[in-house]
Amino acid sequence: MVKCGIAIPQDFINKPAEMRLVREFVRRAEDLNFESLWVQEQILGSAPVLDPIGLLTYASALTSRTRLGISMLTSIVYNPVQLAKTLSSLDQMCNGRLTVGISLGGPTPATVSGCADRRVRRFVEGFEVMKALWTQSPASFEGTLWNFKDVAMEPKPVQKPYPPVWFGARQPAALRRAARYADGWMSPSSSLEDFSSRRDVVVRALEESGRDPATFAISKRLYIAVDEDENRAQQRLREWFGVRYKDPAEADRVALWGSPAKCIEKLRAFIAAGAEHLLLNPVMDELEQMERIAEEIRPHL
């Protein structure tokens, strides 16, 4: 059976942050045996979205078995030494349940942070800095942007050699970079056709580099609304996408909705195209949607 994770409620549009909802959702997700709980990052934007690392730290205190994932940190806007420390600490706090997702991100956060130039170099070298700090005692690194020798950073992550790191990527060069450096790839929101073609690029790059695709995670994030009234579900998704991403039509391209049978059919198509892990993201009525996914959809995947 494919592994199924679920997204923690993280945006609170036209209402204050409801931590009661978050607590109830996270605890119930573990009771329902979802494989993982996920947060995502949106640094800039008018939609109110909670910080991913803070929220995942909160979730770690409410759970004991479920894996915890971040999808995706725009890692180049962080100091990699600080980020290595923060993520190592989080892996300690959750007793080795963390999966780290990083991506190059779009140009806006990088521009605001002063990291608009040499973005790929910053991304790759920052990842190598984190790996050095996670695995070496003391750690040394010699690069173009970062250099240090015999520095200590403790504690190391619980997971060895370090927490799984998945890259988010769309473009061919970024997909090949994921195959070269990462432990997995999480496809951003996309159509089935786009996911399938990008997955093929990743698998070819893995094989060309001598890596076994069976040891590499391939995940798909999917916005979902389980509702027998398809018109209502589509309209609500369009409204949410309009606020969150300023593009209501994006819902039509990348989300799935409808009856349980229709959602199962669409999810099975992604599984047949190579998704080994699904991150399901309900965006409204989150508790009710999670219950329906657990009872009516997940057993059929």
Domains of the chain: 3-7+19-223 (3.20.20.30)
Give me the numbers of helices (H) and strands (E) for the chain, helices first please: 11, 11
Task: For residue 257, give both structure tokens.
Answer: 């909705």
The pLDDT of residue 1:
79
pLDDT by position in tens, the chain (length 301): 799 999 999 999 888 899 999 999 999 999 999 999 999 999 888 999 999 999 999 999 999 999 999 999 999 999 999 999 999 999 999 999 999 999 998 765 555 656 667 889 999 999 999 999 999 999 999 999 999 999 999 999 999 999 999 999 999 999 999 999 999 999 998 999 999 999 999 999 999 999 999 999 999 999 999 999 999 999 999 999 999 999 999 999 999 999 999 999 999 999 999 999 999 999 999 999 999 999 999 999 9
Query: Scanning the structure block, which residue is given the tokens 């971040």?
Result: 70
The pLDDT of residue 269:
98
Q: How many C-beta atoms surround the C-beta of residue 9 within 10 A?
A: 22
Q: Round to whole Å and give the CA distance between 114 and 133.
A: 24
The pLDDT of residue 118:
87
The pLDDT of residue 87:
98
pTM of the model: 0.95
* Distances 226 to 4, 18, 115, 172, 235 between C-alpha atoms, Å: 16, 22, 40, 33, 13
181 Cβ neighbours under 8 A, 6+ residues apart: 124, 127, 167
Q: What is the identity of the amino acid at 52?
A: P
The pLDDT of residue 44:
86
Question: How does DSSP classify residue 227?
Answer: -
